[in-house]
Structures are given as structure tokens and as C-alpha cells.
């Protein structure tokens, strides 16, 4: 395979996923109810992790970060 043919082939192969990604983004969008449920689960995890860090850590840096994370998540 010549250099030009190889380069053309590699460009074509590498452009394929970009075309698919442009069409897949609109299809993979979460519906509102699923997004809210996912956001709530992430928020609950952050609060639980912060409370666990406050209960088990003696490091003031960790405790300070956990306090801020829990207070921001509750708001």
C-alpha cells in the first residue's frame, strides 16, 4: 500500500466514529425523569460519602472538605 493510499485509508477509518458520535448524541439524551432520578442518586451518594468521611476521618482537611460537600449538597 502506498503512503498516500495508506493515509487516505487511515483518515477514512478515523472519521467514521466522528460521524456516528454526531448522530448518537441526540439519541442518547436522557429523558427528564431519568435525568432527575440520576441527579438525585448522585446527590445522595455525595451526602452519604461526606457523612461517612465526617464519621471516620480525623484529618482536618478531609473533614473540612466533607463538611463543605454535605452543606452544598443539602442546599
Q: Convert the pLDDT of each residue in 20-57 to its tens digit.
A: 555 555 556 667 888 888 889 999 999 999 999 999 99
Q: pLDDT at residue 59 above 90? A: yes
List, as own/partner pairs, every contact residues 47-51 make where C-beta atoms lie below 8 angstroms and the sequence separation is at least 24, other chains included.
Answer: 47/73, 47/74
* More confidently predicted of 38 and 74: 38
- pLDDT value for 60: 93
Rg over CA atoms, the chain: 23
- pLDDT value for 2: 66
Q: pLDDT at residue 9 above 80? A: no
What is the C-alpha separation between 50 and 58, in angstroms, rounded?
Answer: 13
- pLDDT value for 57: 92
Amino acid at each position: 500500500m502506498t503512503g498516500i493510499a495508506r493515509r487516505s485509508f487511515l483518515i477514512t477509518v478515523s472519521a467514521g466514529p466522528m460521524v456516528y458520535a454526531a448522530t448518537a448524541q441526540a439519541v442518547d439524551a436522557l429523558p427528564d425523569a431519568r435525568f432527575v432520578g440520576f441527579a438525585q442518586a448522585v446527590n445522595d451518594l455525595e451526602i452519604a460519602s461526606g457523612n461517612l468521611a465526617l464519621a471516620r476521618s480525623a484529618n482536618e482537611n478531609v473533614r473540612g472538605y466533607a463538611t463543605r460537600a454535605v452543606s452544598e449538597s443539602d442546599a
